[in-house]
Amino acid sequence: MTDLKAQVEQFLADHPTEGADAVEWLGARFDAGLAWVHFPVGLGGLGASRSAQQAVDEAFLAANAPQPNPAAPVIGYGMAAPTILKFGTDEQRQRFLRPLYTGEEVWCQLFSEPGAGSDLATLATRAVRDGDEWIVDGQKVWTTMGHVARWGILVARTDPSLPKHQGLSYFLCDMTDPGVEVRPLRQITGEAEFNEVFLSGVRVPDAYRLGAVGEGWKVATTTLMNERVTIGAHAAEREDGLIGAVTKTWRERPELRTPGLHDRLLRLWVDAEALRLTAERLRQGLAAGQPGPEGSAAKLTFATLNQAITGLDVELHGEEGLSYKDWTMRRPTDADWASRDAGFRYLRMKGNSIEGGTSEILRNIIADRILQLPKEPRGDVDIPWKDLPR
Amino acid sequence: MSDLLYGEVENDLRASVRDLLTDRSPWTSVLARVETDKPYDLELWRTLAAEMGLAGLLVPEDLGGAGASAREVAVVLEELGRAVTPTPFLGSAVLATTALLAAGDTETVAELAAGQRIGALAVSLTTAPNAAFPSAVKVVDGKLTGRVGSVADLEVADVVVVPAIGADGPELHVVQTASAGVTVTPITPLDLTRRIATLELADVESRKLSGDAAAALRTALTTGAGLLAAEQLGVAQWCLDATTEYVATRHQFGRPIGSFQALRHRLADLWASVSGAVAVSRAAADALATGSDVDIAVAVAASYCSELAVHAAEEALQLHGGIGMTWEHPVHLYLGRAKSSELALGTPERHRDALASFVDLPA
Ligand SMILES: Cc1cc2nc3c(=O)[nH]c(=O)nc-3n(C[C@H](O)[C@H](O)[C@H](O)COP(=O)(O)OP(=O)(O)OC[C@H]3O[C@@H](n4cnc5c(N)ncnc54)[C@H](O)[C@@H]3O)c2cc1C
């Protein structure tokens, strides 16, 4: 650990942060193994323990170091990177991880389809083998950052004669390929953060397949697990996140306070603190090599809490709560919600219980895997996908 | 950042307390006992307190204790909550002991630590850490007179730490319950597993403690509230586990009721809330052990865990159906414990009020 500290200091001495080009600087940080210290040497890490990462991040933050592109993190950092690390070939890891980290290449997730959301394994996008390539046809939807993404993680059906979970494969899709069309899909906030993606005769090299043919569900499960942990294990400092926006208003604008809102605010403050500590327990458990199941709890609680906090925030604003800053249809390139108005946040956070697996699906997962309750009867597991009623 | 995990020593401690309680205090015997005039099993207490050394966990080694910290005490309380064990642990090993330690006593605290005698703190169990210093007992000519209701664990106490108002303000006194002028009257409690009683003092001889009485009392109540959260976590954990087990085996409509989504989802939500309770109660125990961030951590844990325990017990009762409403099923013991401890050492609202001032969110 002290060793790592010295390395960070040495790195900062060799790479001044002031006026640095972010991509170049982050590239150097990656090459020094200080990006994700628990990744292997040569892939942004030092093979160190996970527990060391936080101290490293904090040291760089304190030094005002360039930070990765805010558009990249959730899908690129949180989901694509760990999946590529776990299932990728050496070539794939070498090719993709560095530009993913520096933010040169933004990632999107091509999972959901009009006919397959919660029941993702029913998806219909086909990939048919043609020599060293796969030809992909289908339609994806709700694709966050699809319009700025250079790469997409893609799940497609490679064998319709098998039951739905078995006939899937996982690919890395070049969003600049001919045949990939990204159309904005306007959201309730007025913006188009997500998109529809049409895939027509897209040729994906077999070298961009992640994991074995037919093992796409297993790879996707890793991505989805990481998605929950990424979304859930978020807040770090007390009053970080949305609760901070409300407490700020509360402190600065005494004229808005009412007794009823006061107790609601304090309850939410307590719940936000409980969530922060749950996420911190998850982090400490991971660092100590005892990953707990708190990731699912955190994602579920996070969604409910954010919705309650942003609802309170609109009410707290009184008459201003009636107005909305801007309904202009934009295609944002980052996920900067902290600076947005209360109305925007209220609407956007409605997505927290839908994106990354709905709260209902998460409860099913907790009931099955953690509580090991008897499963709900279902009739779709052993039937070939092509014979399923749709 | 505080350490929110359980260490190896804590896990071992939990295992040995749980084994003992499973063996010596299963709910069937708790249920049988609460109907007698001897709800507390003092043999079991002797084993826990003296043989296992649990009464002295918070007491330094040079005073005959184990020199452990609030982290270990929290683990013991989780187990005592999980088993709704009627013991004077909270009253004696937590409340009376911390008051005595904070007021600089060495003599009585050593006796409590050794498990030779049982102590209680003479305040109403509903007293919050930020409450005004109690004024029910007065010091007149060096003797104590007054009446305090709802004192926890008093009916088995040999010695009581009494907050009293003297000529110069707040004082703490040690009173032997066997002294002339002391009357202890048990109250029929909502929580059958933690007894309360009224203390009456009429010109009673006492020993005055020298430390800052108001500060010592506040320390005791803060420690009590922070650690009670661990007990409430234990109660909630039992409710979740027992209900999960029950719905997996009970069949209706040709299926285990635990396969119906409405119930699966309620238990998943409860599990997520219990995960939060583990985190906040660990944070409070760690704060009490290290002395940093105590006020906020305790207020958060007390508010969160009080409400969660009640919710968990109410869910458990509902999902057990009719059997949950029967005397012979233990869920009512948990409900009584949860609801009463919601009032104990400050209600959730009271803790949120305190929190508002600690984190600068004024009304
Ligand atoms: C803001 C946002 C961003 C997103 N970004 C992406 C992205 O980048 N890439 C991507 O691939 N996808 C993305 N998604 C899609 C997201 O993963 C899906 O919306 C989600 O999985 C739900 O699928 P669905 O919308 O088809 O709802 P449906 O599956 O149709 O569900 C409708 C309702 O039924 C409930 N339901 C469904 N099945 C069950 C069941 N078995 N038991 C109980 N209730 C059930 C659901 O919980 C929901 O409430 C995004 C979604 C949102 C809102």
pLDDT at A236: 73
- B143 versus A223: the higher-pLDDT residue is B143
Supply the pLDDT for residue B234: 98
- What's the pLDDT at A70? 59
H helices of B61-185, in order, are 70-82, 97-102, 107-113
CB distance B281 to B74 below 8 Å: yes
CA–CA separation, B208 vs B203, rounded Å?
A: 14
pLDDT tens profile B322-347:
999 999 999 999 999 999 999 999 99
pLDDT-derived band at A375, boundaries 50, 70, 90: very high
Share of chain A above pLDDT 90, in %: 76
Span from the CA of A358 to the centroid of ligand 1 (angstroms): 5
Q: B353 to chain A: which residues are within 8 Å by CB?
A: 266
**CA distance linking residue B115 with residue A329, whole number of Å:** 72
Mean pLDDT in chain B?
Answer: 97
- How close does chain B come to A284, measured CA to CA in Å? 7
Average pLDDT over residues B144-164: 98
Q: Higher confidence at residue A224 or residue A110?
A: A110
Judged on CB neighbours under 10 Å (0-12, 13-18, 19+), B241 is middle
Structure tokens at B322: 């009719």
* Confidence at residue A282, expressed as pLDDT on a 0 to 100 scale: 86
Q: How far apart are CA B74 and CA B80, in angstroms?
A: 10
What is the tens place of the pLDDT at every residue in B171-229?
999 999 999 999 999 999 999 999 999 999 999 999 999 999 999 999 999 999 999 99
pLDDT tens readout for residues A96-144: 999 999 999 999 999 999 999 999 999 999 999 999 999 999 999 999 9
Chain A residues whose CB is inside 8 A of the B350 CB are none
Residue B321 confidence (pLDDT) above 90: yes
- What is the 3-class SS of A118-176, one letter each residue? CCHHHCCCEEEEECCEEEEEEEECCCCCCCCCCEEEEEEECCCCCECCCCEEEEEEECC
Helix, strand, coil distribution of chain B in percent, nearest 5: 55, 15, 30
Q: Averaged over A370-375, what is the pLDDT?
A: 96
Q: Reply yes or no on whether the pLDDT at B138 is more than 80.
A: yes
**A73 alpha carbon to ligand 1 midpoint, in Å?**
21
Name the residue with the closest Cα to ligand 1, atom 37: A118
pLDDT at B237 over 90: yes
Question: What is the ipTM score, two decimals?
Answer: 0.94
How confident is the model over A50-100, as pLDDT tens digits?
A: 778 888 988 998 999 998 765 556 789 889 999 999 999 999 999 999 999
- A contacts of B298 (beta carbons < 8 Å): none
Percent of chain B with pLDDT over 70: 100
CB within 8 Å: B361 and A263: no
Report the pocket of ligand 1 as residue ranges, CB < 6 Å. Answer: A 108-109, 111-112, 117-118, 142-144, 194, 351, 354-355, 357-358, 360-361, 364
Active site residues of A: 227
Residue B363's Cβ-count burial label (10 Å; 0-12, 13-18, 19+) is middle
User: Are A265 and B361 an interchain contact pair (Cβ–Cβ within 8 Å)?
Assistant: yes
CA distance B37 to chain A (A): 39
How large is the average pLDDT for residues A264-289? 91
Predicted pLDDT of residue A231? 60
Confidence bin at A233 (pLDDT 50/70/90):
low
Contact between chains at B363 and A364 (C-beta distance less than 8 A): no
- Statement: residue A313 has pLDDT above 90: yes
Cα-to-centroid distance, A142 and ligand 1 (Å): 9
Closest Cα in chain A, distance from residue B253 (Å): 13
Q: How confident is the model at residue B20 (pLDDT cuts 50, 70, 90)?
A: very high
Residue B262 CB burial class (10 angstroms; 0-12, 13-18, ≥19): exposed
- CA–CA gap between residue B284 and residue B2 (Å, rounded): 9
Going from the Cα of A112 to the center of ligand 1, the distance in angstroms, rounded, reads 8
- What is the rounded CA–CA span in Å between residue A181 and residue A292? 40
Cα distances (Å, whole numbers) of residue B295 to A275, A281, B90, B131, B292? 18, 20, 19, 14, 9
Ligand 1 pocket mutation pick from A77, A113, A118 by most atoms within 8 angstroms of CB: A118
Residue among A270, A297, A376 minimizing CB distance to B303: A270
Nearest atom in ligand 1 to A119's CA: 29
Asked whether the predicted pLDDT for residue A285 surpasses 90, the reply is no
